[in-house]
Structure 1
Amino acid sequence: MTDPGPTVPEASVKPSRLVVLAGPTAVGKGTVAADVRKRHPEVWISVSATTRPPRPGERHGVHYWFVSDAEFDTMIERGELLEWAVVHKSARYGTPRRPVEEALAQGWPALLEIDLQGARQVRDTMPGALFVFLMPPSWDELIRRLVGRGTETDEEREQRLDTARQELAARDEFDVTIVNHEVHAAAEELVALMVLDDEHPFDH
């Protein structure tokens, strides 16, 4: 795989935490993370590796690291992934370990935007992280967003809806829930969780 990002520059921020954002398919995790990236350059956001092909407009190294199955196998064998999972019974997704560790070591507020399976793995390896569940305003709105995206076949859409029903049931596993009524508001609420209060460090 291409080197998963440049060395993280020295941070000049307040004490920070790792925040893990997960939620059901089509809830808008990627859109919220993109808004954070645009408005808050002080936040370091992990770029996942995936074996699925790029969607229109997606760029290698920006939205995802697009890798082959063989490359992904090598990353697993070498212990280069903090977490990985098969998503929607098809492609594999994973978080490169080294960039995350570098960002945290240098004090950056860091965000992982991953699926539920990945979040559970990170809880085992990094229990000090804050786990945030992104909820849709309603089930009907989740369906509308998924259909409106127009990137899946009917079969893929039904598969994602089945997955979403299971994922919504995992809400109680998380420390904080944010309802994604509006992207900017959800992004600001997320960023507010990343900077630690000196009096209440890692207070959930």
Structure 2
Amino acid sequence: MQPLIILLAAPSGTGKSTIAKRLFEDFPNLKFSISATTRAPRKGESHGADYYYLSMDEFQQKIDNGDFIEWEEFYGGTRYGTLRSELVKNTEKGYFTLLDVDVKGAVRIKTLFNERCLALFLQPPSLEILEKRLRNRNTESESSLKLRRERADEELKYTGHFDAIITNDNLEKAYSELKNVVQTFLNLY
């Protein structure tokens, strides 16, 4: 049985987590793929629920073993990756898998799984509005805001690789559009 994948990529602050939670509510046969990371757990996070927290050596061993479908190293040397075992587990249980990945990972996964993968990109109405949303969180330093904006600008260059691009200028409208695209895709299988 081949996996059926929905990729959701978006710049930080676009509403991706909120939309993903609603997808899980509306599509009970959709399960999340837990990513692996070398970063330390944040307050309230736990191993195996939020991420698989690995040392750099453990992560490298999984790379060497071919355990990742894709992985990426970000500024500061922190690595994130999608474990093949997560897809296998969900598929064997009869679930579709939702992946929350960066744009480069999304492009790699879309290339691997082609028509069995729906690649969705959630974009902000503008970089200015995105920056305002991030500022309103009050969780970012000026340098972090600058990095996130630069990263968002870079991510927006990849939109041509996605099956659907949804602008989140209104959460309800964006979710409705995204839900319809997902429903159409799942109805094919």
Q: TM-score, normalised by structure 2?
A: 0.82
Matched with 2:120 is 132
2:169 maps to which residue? 181
Once the 2 structures are TM-superposed, how far is the Cα of residue 188 of structure 1 from its aligned partner? Answer: 4.7
How far the C-alpha of 1:189 sits from its partner, in A, is: 3.8
Q: What's the secondary structure of 2:91's corresponding residue?
A: helix
Give the one of 159, 179, 186 matched to 1:171: 159
Cα gap change, 1:158/1:65 in structure 2, threshold over 3 Å: closer, same or farther? Answer: same
Instruction: Decide whether aligned partners of structure 1 residues 62 and 182 sit closer, same or farther in structure 2, where only a CA change above 3 A counts.
Output: farther
Q: Among all aligned residue pairs of Structure 1 and Structure 2, give the percentage whose two residues are the same amino acid.
A: 33
Q: Are 2:135 and 1:147 aligned?
A: yes
Distance 1:65 1:183 in 2: 30
> In structure 2, what residue type is equivalent to 1:170?
Y
* Aligned-CA RMSD value: 2.6
Q: Which runs of 5+ in 1 are unaligned?
A: 1-15
The normalised TM-score by structure 1 is: 0.77
Cα distance change of structure 1 residues 72 and 162 upon mapping to structure 2, 3 Å threshold? same
Number of equivalent positions: 186
Higher helix share: 2
Partner of 1:51: 38
- Counterparts of 1:106 and 1:193 in 2: how far apart (Å)? 24
Secondary structure of 1:55 counterpart:
coil
User: 1:98 — aligned with what?
Assistant: 85
The one-character-per-residue Cα deviations of 1:91-119 (angstroms, maximum 9, x if unpaired) are: 11111111213423554232111101111
Which runs of no fewer than 5 residues in structure 2 stay unpaired?
none
Distance 2:138 2:96 in 1: 33
With 142-151 and 43-52 compared, the bigger mean Cα shift is at 142-151
Matches within 5 A, 1:189-204: 189-195=177-183, 201=188
Aligned partners of 1:63, 1:187: CA distance in 2, in Å? 23
Does the Cα contact within 8 Å between 2:118 and 2:185 map onto a contact in 1? no
- Equivalent residue for 1:27, pick from 4, 14, 29: 14
Q: What is the alpha-carbon distance in structure 1 between the residues aligned to residue 52 and residue 21 of structure 2? A: 16
**Per the alignment, do residues 87 and 186 of structure 1 end up closer, same or farther by CA in structure 2, a change over 3 Å counting?**
farther
- Please list, as runs of the form range in 1=range in 2, the aligned pairs for 1:66-77 lying within 5 A after superposition: 66-77=53-64
Change (3 A) 1:104 1:67: same
Aligned to 2:110: 123
Separation (CA, whole Å) in 1 of partners of 2:24 and 2:185: 22
Cα 1:141/1:83, change in 2 over 3 Å: same
Supply the AA of the counterpart residue of 2:31. W
Matched to 2:162, the amino acid is: F
The higher relative CO (CA closer than 8 Å, separation ≥ 6) is in 1
Decide whether aligned partners of structure 1 residues 183 and 135 sit closer, same or farther in structure 2, where only a CA change above 3 A counts. same
Please state how far the C-alpha of 1:127 moved relative to its aligned partner: 1.6
